[in-house]
Chains A and B, each alone.
Chain A
Amino acid sequence: MSHPPDTVKPRLPAKVRLKWDDVRQKPLLLFPEGVLVLNPTAHEVVALCDGRRTIAEIVKTLGEKFGSDLIDQDVKDLLARLMEKGLMTVAD
């Protein structure tokens, strides 16, 4: 799995929506013909993917919040997986 460069600014494509599911009390990614239930960490990451922050900035923000050195790899793995599924894109 190849990682996107640190300098890109990830965002959700127009067809994908992040939604808080009141019934299940879980964050969901909604897209054509599918639903992805996010874990709390993935939710934190996706919520920061607004097309304005770079991956480096997202990693830094989460590092400050959670103080773990594993975050860098986790964030990039997650973003690469979402991009592979067409559920994440990058801002121009």
Chain B
Amino acid sequence: MPMETPRPYSLLCELTYRCPLQCPYCSNPIDFARHTDELSTAEWERILTEAPALGIVQAHFSGGEPLLRADLPQIIRRARDLGLYTNLSTGGTLFNEKIGTQLRAAGLDSLQVSIQDADAENSDRLAGGAPSFAKKIRAAQIARELGFSLTVNVVLHRQNLDRIEAIISMAEELGAERLELANSQYNGWALKNRAAFLPTRVQVEHAAHVAGAARQRLMGRMEILYVLPDYFEPFPKACLYGWGRVFMTVAADGAVLPCQTAREIRGLKFDNTRRHSLSEIWFESEAFQKFRGTGWLPEPCQSCPRKEVDFGGCRCQAFLLTGDATATDPVCSLAPKHHLIDEALAEAGSDAGKKLVYRTAGESLRLGELQVCNATVKASQPPSKK
């Protein structure tokens, strides 16, 4: 590391992995159902208390569904008392006047409600479980009535991109200050459903055009953030703005992750806040040091002028697609394994009518079991003779 280790600005607190929804592109790890030992209120308060001295200025609360925790107002109040900017991401189905008023009193700065589509039926289908669209719309309305700064978040993919205009109108009608249109990132659950969700280039370009025009039209009223899908870009995204550089995630069970998806990287060991302080983990843990900076980068990244721009891309994606977390992110057009992306794009849509793999505890345990089995088989194979 040539320079002093940077300090994190932002702490993502995944208060629980429990959720009434089952979105098939959830960013929780595939094996979330194995991590059931949730941190207590006192443990979260201790974590938040440690955060400012480390440099953290923002606390994002998400899940699972964070509203499933009865202590949410207390935790947010604590974060606010510590001077942290607080943001809550909710699916909205459990939001009502009562909890909204409590959160407002606790000092919550910003509220984000996820909606799956502007079409009620499709939104319900995508979220899985009991019908949720009407409750989400109501949640957004209540949030505005209570005076919250509202962000609407819609994950985009093949099965809703064609309704981009309706999605923007929906957010506008709800009075959102901000609309986050993030194309699905194909790690974890979304990777299981990739062939059904990967859009066409025509869809992506149309949506970018519509979002761009809406951004101009709505400037000063509603901010629109459109995140391009990296599969269609020549270079990878600057994932996390660099590993162990800006972000830190504490998962429901206290595991501290450089990224909320990092649990997908098999073999990477994560320290737990129950045994170590945030500061120890940020500066000293194996997981945070592993891909920090640019010294570890392979070629062609190492000699690439973009290495300080994108840091070699997403580690989770590199691992999930190539089996090697130190590989160049395959979405990069210069990556040795870029053909994997071309192949995926060629297959896109082939599963469009197929049943989606929903994020349920049952699927989590089944898929988690398969992963463990594969790892065991690998470990039990004798080393190949040379």
Contacts and interface: CB of A to CB of B under 8 A. Distances in A.
Contacts of A17: 85, 109
Interface stretch (B49-57, B288-296, B311-319): B49-57
B83 interface: yes
Contacts of B138: none
A32 B10 contact: no
Interface in A57-92: 83-86, 89
Interface string A20-44: 0111100010111101000000000
A30 B177 contact: no
Interface residues of A, number: 20
B55 A24 contact: yes
With a 10 A CB-CB cut-off, give which of A15, A24, A85 has the most chain B CB atoms. Answer: A15
A19 B57 contact: yes
A31 B55 CA distance: 16
B78 interface: no
Contacts of A86: 177-178, 220, 223
A33 B11 CA distance: 11
Nearest to B111: A32
A35 B9 contact: yes
Given A17-B109, A32-B112, A23 B53 contact: yes
Contacts of A33: 60, 87, 151, 180
B22 interface: no
B60 to A, nearest CB: 8
A33 B57 CA distance: 11
Contact of B83 (A13, A15, A19, A83): A19
Contacts of A24: 7, 55
With a 10 A CB-CB cut-off, give which of A14, A15, A32, A35 has the most chain B CB atoms. Answer: A32
Interface string B185-229: 000000000000000000000000000000000011001000000
B110 A15 contact: yes
21 contacts: A13-B177, A14-B147, A15-B109, A15-B177, A15-B178, A17-B85, A19-B83, A21-B55, A23-B7, A24-B7, A30-B109, A32-B109, A33-B60, A33-B151, A33-B180, A35-B58, A85-B223, A86-B178, A86-B220, A86-B223, A89-B220
Given A13-B177, A19-B85, 11 more contacts: A13-B149, A14-B149, A15-B109, A15-B110, A21-B55, A21-B57, A22-B52, A32-B112, A33-B151, A33-B180, A35-B58
